[in-house]
């Protein structure tokens, strides 16, 4: 009886671990601010650097444009962070109208919430990062 129970428990552990991939996370910060935007979750052991670089590039493109246009603090504010929908109807975060990241069901499910509510959390983090970035990079003469 003990042996049968041990075999059943062992098989349950083996089969449950096969059915569920390990979810890992990689922190996505807002460049130049030390503010955590969100943790990118992924399954398996391969870090999705292509997606990470794409998100950082999108944020940096907005920051670089702001710098090239004179670094006027009124031209880049937390109000420029918005939540909207992509053309495919996915919840997304935008900065000055540019898509930054799509908030998907996978991330919402892991965080036990909806994409809309998770987008609000991520957008607040991005707003904080934008404010710090502007403060740290505003010309002294302004």
Give the CA-trace dihedral at 124, 125, 130, 135, to 10 degrees: 110
pLDDT, average across residues 115-129: 98
pLDDT in tens, 78-112: 999 999 999 999 999 999 999 999 999 999 999 99
H/E element, 13: helix 2-19
Give residue 19's pLDDT. Answer: 46
What pLDDT, on a 0 to 100 scale, did the predictor assign at position 98?
98
What pLDDT shows up at residue 33? 93
Inter-CA distances, 57 with 19, 62, 65, 101, Å: 35, 9, 12, 11
53: which DSSP letter?
Answer: H
pLDDT beyond 90 at 141 = no
């Amino acid at each position: 009886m003990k042996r049968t129970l041990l075999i059943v428990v062992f098989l349950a552990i083996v089969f449950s671990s096969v059915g569920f991939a390990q979810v890992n996370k990689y922190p996505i910060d807002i460049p130049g601010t030390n503010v955590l935007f969100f943790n990118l979750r992924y399954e398996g052991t391969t870090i999705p650097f292509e997606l990470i670089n794409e998100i950082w590039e999108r944020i940096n493109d907005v920051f670089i444009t702001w710098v090239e246009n004179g670094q006027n603090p009124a031209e880049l504010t937390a109000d420029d962070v918005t939540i909207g929908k992509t053309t495919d109807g996915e919840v997304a975060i935008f900065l000055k109208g540019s898509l930054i990241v799509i908030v998907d069901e996978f991330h919402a499910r892991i965080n036990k919430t909806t994409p809309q509510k998770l987008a609000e959390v991520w957008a607040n983090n991005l707003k904080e990062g934008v404010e710090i970035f502007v403060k740290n990079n505003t010309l002294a003469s302004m």
